Structure 1
Amino acid sequence: MKRHPQTSLIHATRKAPQFISTVQPPLFRASTIIFNNTDALFNRHWTDDYDYSYGTHGTPTTYTLADQIALNEGGEHCLLAPSGLSAINLVNSCCLSHGDEVWVADNIYGPNMEHLRDLQKRYGIVVKVYDGLDAQSFQPSKQAKLLWLEAAGSVSLEFPDLKGLIKKAKQAGVCIALDNTWGAGLAFNPFDLSDEHLAVDISVHALTKYPSGGGDILMGAIITQDKVLHHRLLRMHALQGIAVSADDTAQVQRSLSSMALRYAQHAKSTQTVLDWLIHQPAFSQVLHPAYPQSAGHQYWLEICQTGLSAGLVSVVFKPEFDMQAVRAFCDHLQLFKLGFSWGGPLSLVMLYQIEDMRHLAHPHLNAGILVRFCIGLEHPEDLIQDIAQALKRMNSP
């Protein structure tokens, strides 16, 4: 049958072979997925490991990345989301209903707390705050359904008592979710934390950070081992229409092979900068889980037996340095750029007033303005020189 040229542009008469062997897997962009026949259409189910029915459910591109992220974190199943926060919100939406109790660490990722407070206001969940350094401060009631862990804590980088908290949650039958962006599946295995095989139920990872590595991709992941829990999350994932870009997925996929190398370099450079920071008289405190003077260091030693830690280090300026002085310090930095996030090649800096962010007493933190450094892939000696010159100039007009 002779076809009009316009039709032939859509239904090609010749088709190149679809699969060749390459270093990187093929990229599949798809909303509509074509079924070979009606049997293929009807003999499928949304719980299939690879449900090729519509682009939001998955393609070989997204499933390939999800499988590798699950493997890296020690899990069995993985769902991808458009950002780390989207992944967190999916967990909250799936696990919490009216009247349920959720426990969050005082140093939890700020937007997660904001989302939970919004759910509390609009849907009647109950938000409880605990001290990650004190497992006894976690006192779940019969209504407790979800415990959020974060290791290390956001901004002030306390490493929590993961074993103590997980044991209590297991005894109470509370689902355990860990924001594992800092550990990236490299510093420790969230699904096997000890000889007792202590494990979280859900690991959430902002692939925006180390897996992407370029500071240019937004993506999140939800990793589980239990298939029933995975299917609960998968159902909510489908109902909310959550999907990720194939092009973004391919970019993260391309970066995965170098993630462990980059993470190790970030950690090594951060240690070099840390060793210098602790001797600077402008700071009353230096915060990093691998530093013995930091809160939770003993828990980091217990869990992170690889000796690895992410490329984040925070400092607390002495009280005599007010906000104007600390802002001047940040403005005088040249290699460190002012911006949120971390895990990319570029070093970043951000300043915080902890008193405005915490709900519980924090005697382990000195008074003063906190600055967080995100150590990139520049040479650490250059970063040290940059901080040194900014300290000298911070009181200059």
Structure 2
Amino acid sequence: MTPRDLKNPAGFQPRTQRLQAGHDSDASQGFVNPPLVRGSTVLFPDTGTMRRRAQKFTYGLRGTPTLAALEEAIDVWEGSHGTVLVPSGLAAVSLPLLAFLGSGDHCLVVDSVYGPTRLFCDTMLKRMGVETEYFDPAIGAGLRDLMRPNTRVVFLEAPGSNTFEMLDVAEAAGIARAGGAVSMLDNTWATPLHFRPLEHGVDLSIHALTKYPGGHSDLLMGSVSATRETFARLRDAQMQLGINVSAEDAYLVFRGLKTMDLRIAAHETAALSLALWLETRPEVARVLHPALPSFPGHGLWKRQFSGSTGLFSFVLNGGGRAEASAFLDALEIFGLGYSWGGFESLALEVDLSDRRVATAPTEGPVIRLQIGLEDVADLQADLEAGFAAIHALR
């Protein structure tokens, strides 16, 4: 049995614990799932209660029973003290940065970061008077040399967006803490099923719930899960900005969490099968998937993560945009789309022109694949058609 704790008083195994999280049949009049509560105004029984705000729900922006159920469930998944919900994955990035940074501060960001995160740092944070400095994901202990007295945030992503570089999360989080900074990590790729950042010393775990928790490409949402020490400041920032999410979308994510581990297992198996096959193709220079033994960061991945998901990239063996376009335009099952984590397979050409210090592949274009829930044989045949289109071009 797992150790008994406040979030798991019955000592359930992890899967049972996750399925139980957020459920209170007494509060939902016996129904298995929490009620879908839409509302803004909340009534108080008397002025004393209103003045003290001595009841759980006080105004719709501050939460409803539906949102509270999802926050509680995510806390169980993440092992966090508290979670806030926001309207998108990018909002889950921007909210904690705004919460912990101000004019004159210095922010360190891994150079393999999600592109919109970089854009936010280079535009809004810059206008606020925050200096952002990017570092190579392979920097290791050298991160310590970049810390300054005014460094307030170290922003991490593991694995890195699009090229999946790995880093030692505990080492980076420890350097941040020793330097008086908070650490944040975008954990969307692994989900808390395969990696729990707070257990590695990270202060705030960021997730695009749009992806695997939602799972059906029909909603936008993000979450930030925090330690006891950082949660109050995070929640205050959320209320100061006045953002939260709809009850309908929260309910859909709550429902999606119930099958996320089963779906991710299917994504993982199919993605690994196709990644291994791609390694045998002469059209492929290399496959960028941290769960492959051939990947440079495989050892770091294996030491920290319990599994992988359905997103990875590969580098074409030569060529340029014409070859990338020929490959992508020949695909029929793989759609051309920016998101991932849903049931459908997607593909796109990666743009790495914004890199500052991290090394980008040079052998040819980088193609990112989201492996959905279709039959692997059909997906492989679709990719073969893409390779045939490249040969026809040449």
TM-score relative to the length of structure 1: 0.89
- Residue of structure 2 in register with 1:369 after alignment: 365
- Residue of structure 2 in register with 1:56 after alignment: 61
- Residue of structure 2 in register with 1:380 after alignment: 376
What are the within-5 Å matches in structure 2 for residues 1-397 of structure 1?
A: 19-44=28-53, 51-138=56-143, 139-193=146-200, 199-226=201-228, 228-304=229-305, 306=306, 308-319=307-318, 321-354=319-352, 356-362=353-359, 365-396=361-392
Letter in 2 for 1:384: Q
Q: Is the 8 A contact 1:155 1:372 kept in 2?
A: yes
> Offset of 1:136 from its aligned partner?
3.4
> Offset of 1:231 from its aligned partner?
1.0
> Offset of 1:19 from its aligned partner?
4.4
The structure whose Rg is larger is 1
CA 85–375 in structure 1, closer or farther in 2 if over 3 Å, else same: same
- Residue of structure 1 in register with 2:8 after alignment: none
- Residue of structure 2 in register with 1:3 after alignment: none
Q: Aligned equivalents of 2:303 and 2:223: distance in 1?
A: 26
Counterpart secondary structure, 2:108: strand
Q: Aligned equivalents of 1:235 and 1:310: distance in 2?
A: 33
CA offset digits 1:314-342 (Å, max 9, x no partner): 011122x2211211110110110000111
Q: Aligned equivalents of 1:219 and 1:236: distance in 2?
A: 17
CA offset digits 1:109-155 (Å, max 9, x no partner): 11111111113431211111111122234221111000011011000
CA offset digits 1:284-317 (Å, max 9, x no partner): 111001112223211101101x2x1121120111
Q: Aligned equivalents of 1:317 and 1:51: distance in 2?
A: 55
Q: Aligned equivalents of 2:40 and 2:315: distance in 1?
A: 49
Q: Aligned equivalents of 2:83 and 2:177: distance in 1?
A: 22
> Offset of 1:36 from its aligned partner?
2.4
Q: Is the 8 A contact 1:177 1:204 kept in 2?
A: yes
More displaced stretch, 336-345 vs 117-126: 117-126
Letter in 1 for 2:179: A
Between structures 1 and 2, the one with greater helix share: 2
Q: Aligned equivalents of 1:290 and 1:361: distance in 2?
A: 20
Q: Is the 8 A contact 1:130 1:137 kept in 2?
A: no
Q: Aligned equivalents of 2:164 and 2:303: distance in 1?
A: 16
CA offset digits 1:262-293 (Å, max 9, x no partner): 11111111111111010011111110011122
Q: Is the 8 A contact 2:135 2:358 kept in 1?
A: no
Q: Aligned equivalents of 2:286 and 2:355: distance in 1?
A: 18
- Residue of structure 2 in register with 1:8 after alignment: none
CA 18–177 in structure 1, closer or farther in 2 if over 3 Å, else same: closer
Letter in 2 for 1:225: T
> Offset of 1:361 from its aligned partner?
4.6
TM-score relative to the length of structure 2: 0.89
Aligned residues: 366
Q: Aligned equivalents of 2:129 and 2:139: distance in 1?
A: 27
Counterpart secondary structure, 2:192: coil
Q: Which runs of 5+ in 1 are unaligned?
A: 1-16, 194-198
Q: Aligned equivalents of 1:241 and 1:162: distance in 2?
A: 31
Q: Is the 8 A contact 1:106 1:132 kept in 2?
A: yes
Q: Aligned equivalents of 2:276 and 2:195: distance in 1?
A: 23
Counterpart secondary structure, 1:185: helix
Counterpart secondary structure, 1:176: strand
CA offset digits 1:28-55 (Å, max 9, x no partner): 001111222223211227xxxx741111
Q: Aligned equivalents of 2:48 and 2:267: distance in 1?
A: 51
Q: Is the 8 A contact 1:51 1:57 kept in 2?
A: no
